[in-house]
Amino acid sequence: MVRALLKRLASNTLAVAGRSQHHQLRRLNIHEYQGAELMGKYGINVPKGVAVSSAEEIKKAIQEVFPNENELVVKSQILAGGRGLGTFKNGLKGGVHIVKADEADQIAGKMLGQILVTKQTGPQGKVVSKVYICKKLSLINEMYFAITLDRKTAGPIIIACSKGGTSIEDLAEKYPDMIIKVPIDVFQGITDEDAAKVVDGLVLKAADKNAAIDQVKKLYQLFCACDCTLLEINPLAETSDSQLVAADAKLNFDDNAAYRQKEIFALRDPTQEDPREVAAAKADLNYIGLDGEIGCMVNGAGLAMATMDIIKLHGGTPANFLDVGGNASESQVVEAFKILTSDEKVKAILVNIFGGIMKCDVIASGIVNAAKQVSLKVPVVVRLEGTNVDQGKRILKESGMTLITAEDLDDAAEKAVKSLS
């Protein structure tokens, strides 16, 4: 879906520009069953379902929640798209199965605790800790619906398509004329006219138009009230009994709103995130893990990207984007080093600091203290310039550490790449 494009860009150093500011672009992502529960609270039609984490819970849920159902949908719960076409490392094909009710516990048992690999997880996959057991719906029409933020109109925008069930990228390629966009005035809010435009664009076959307008308005209410950055329903479906149902949804939330959305942010599942990024977030560091061999610690997003580009220019590959910012404390520098050294792929570390607000002596003290707490088994290349640079260089020299010093960025990148051999 939408976030699939963002993930694919992460391996390209230039793409990090869009994600460089932790407080602007770090988004909370919640599981499907959590999103369904939240939408239900706002009066949005969702399939009847229950999340379970063990075989015993599955049997109990089927008996209590679905006593009269012949078929059920069993959905693995991971924070990645493409589950239906994914493959478990134990050989099971597909992370979403429609099965007979008395077989649901068997298929769910093959999912729980197993690693599911999809086009969005990477080859390492993600562990399935819960499965979502849902009532099987009789769908007669599948559509696409999303609300996100639009830079051009500086406000929310609703995107809808009368075709659904596949990624919006594929829909945009196959049916560009069927996609409609309805910008919403953030001050006025969604009007009946706005909602009617969306419903007309969905080209309903059976659902009542007025009821559909009401559902669209409730979805917008949720988007605003919960500080969403993305609310994507794919498919938004019509059922054989003429109901409009959010059959599958993805919700992302603005981290800047964590202070007023405590219940929602308590849903965060750190086991589904990169542990390095989780540790960095706790230390208030801007970190994005990549797949290279040279760990980078830099101050400033622009300098960090330039550092990564020059590493690539000299034939190396950056292992991460790490911006310690302009006001990093000595303890944050220590935490940054711990994160870098915890990555087994890192074969060398490049520290590139241009001291302005950030002082070179603080960075130097952090490096020395980090070396005392972690075992530095890889070469460390350091380039310091700017505020208190002489004090910083003196601290490093008197520490007795074996460091590779560099005069400028180009020299530092070249030495970092050479240190790999």
What amino acid positions are annotated as catalytic residues? 144, 232
Going through 153-243 in order, the beta strands assigned E by DSSP cover: 155-161, 179-183, 228-239
- With contact defined as beta carbons under 8 Å apart, do 379 and 349 qualify? yes
Two structure tokens written together for 37? 């529960």
Q: How far apart are CA 124 and CA 121, in angstroms?
A: 7
Q: Among 284, 241, 295, 302, which Cα is nearest to 420's?
A: 295
Q: Are 192 and 220 in contact (CB under 8 A)?
A: no
Whether residue 347 contacts residue 420, with contact meaning beta carbons closer than 8 Å, is answered with yes
Centroid of chain to Cα 155: 22
**Torsion on CA atoms 113, 114, 116, 122, rounded to nearest 10:** 90
In this structure, are strands 249-254 and 380-386 parallel, antiparallel, or unpaired? unpaired
Q: Which tokens in the block code for residue 416?
A: 């970092």
The Cα 155–Cα 238 span in angstroms is: 29
Strand partners, 245: 237
In 121-169, the DSSP E strands lie at 126-127, 130-135, 139-150, 155-161
Task: Please calculate the CA angle 190-195-197 and round it to the nearest 5 degrees.
Answer: 125
- Of residues 380, 355, 255, the one with CA closest to residue 300: 355
User: What is the rounded CA–CA span in Å between residue 28 and residue 254?
Assistant: 7
- Token reading at 307: 């550092």
Check if the beta carbon of residue 153 is closer than 8 Å to that of residue 132. Answer: no
